[in-house]
Homo-oligomer: A and B are copies of this chain.
Amino acid sequence: MSDTYGKHITLTLTGESHGPAVGAVLTGLAAGIRVDEPFMRNQLERRRAKGSISTARSEEDAVRFLSGVYRGYTTGTALTLMIENKDAQSGAYEAAKNLLRPGHADYTASVKYRGYADLRGGGHASGRLTAPFVAACSILTGLLRSKGIFIATHLAECAAVSDLPFSEEPAVLEQQIRSLNETAFPVLNDSSGRLMQDAIRLAADSGDSVGGILETAVIGLPAGLGEPFFGSVESELASLLFSIPAVKGVEFGAGFGFARMKGSRANDPLRMKDRQIVTSSNHNGGINGGITNGMPVIFRTVIKPTPSIYMVQQTVDYEKRCNAVLQISGRHDPCIAHRACVVQDSAAALCIAELLCARCGTKWQEDGAWNMD
């Protein structure tokens, strides 16, 4: 319950939207991991404002390492990165600072921080914090790829338009994952993508906003990660996913679809395939009893519509404690779901790295010669 996630690998996010800088501190990395800065910039690019369906705030997001990186590799000590806030336009926020914006954290942060928080632009609760989050996690994403673990997220649904689902065919799924990580607008079916962007623009034209459902697939995980109960893979992933601003639901495999199934359909039968144990269906999303079973881990989140809309809204003046009306100006995304895909990928990478550390930490205790080199 703090600004820090994790136990073996930890990530702390710092900064306010309109403060000097936003940043991240990552600990628990081994020494000698390659820090791929072009890849980091690429991940940040996928997160950033692009074209007419996203806002005009276009920070260059230049990442500066303050510690933990030397000659392109991690040193094994705490890694600090910082992104200076350059393109912050506080004027638009100052004008209406006592009017609580519905759907935002204005009211709750005012109560919690007793008036001392820097709430300009959403303050510490702002989506801007996802920039250092994505930057830091990119190191883990690269590390996982070098171990054969791949992650990708697509817009399963947006503005009521549906995308194709992930394939159940391993070779096809692998290709879909590869393509998604190279696609500008993260969908599996291009025409769905075009319909989605049309619907987003339509909402924008009426001063409104839309949300969506993101679906992530992870392949290459060994079986046996996670713990029953408190350390379940669902618990660990959901904990991070719900940290992403605007996420209001998380489901694994068939998810809420289980409510309409009988056990005879919900259960995933097991069978041998190429001397491996696999399941014939994957309703459980690759996780049984909180532990991975080797099948692709599949999960979905719902991203609520962006709260900042241009229509008139009923609200309260926090200082005067009376009813008021609000009409937001400034720059706001009509939809952030597509930008959130790389954030969700990042969350998955962080969580998996943490799970692998947990699994690895006890290996020295197991039978046989041990190697501490």
Contacts and interface: CB of A to CB of B under 8 A. Distances in A.
A249 to B, nearest CB: 3
Interface stretch (A103-111, A167-175, A181-189): A103-111
Contacts of A363: 30, 360, 363
A152 interface: no
Contacts of A157: 259
* Contact count band on A: 35 or more
Contact of A289 (B16, B104, B270, B360): B104
A231 B29 contact: no
Contacts of A254: 248, 304
A364 interface: yes
Contact of A1 (B256, B272, B358): B358
Nearest to A21: B66
Interface stretch (A37-45, A52-60, A238-246): A238-246
B275 A321 contact: yes
A197 interface: no
A304 B283 CA distance: 10
A296 interface: no
Contacts of A264: 208-209, 309, 311
A271 B211 contact: no
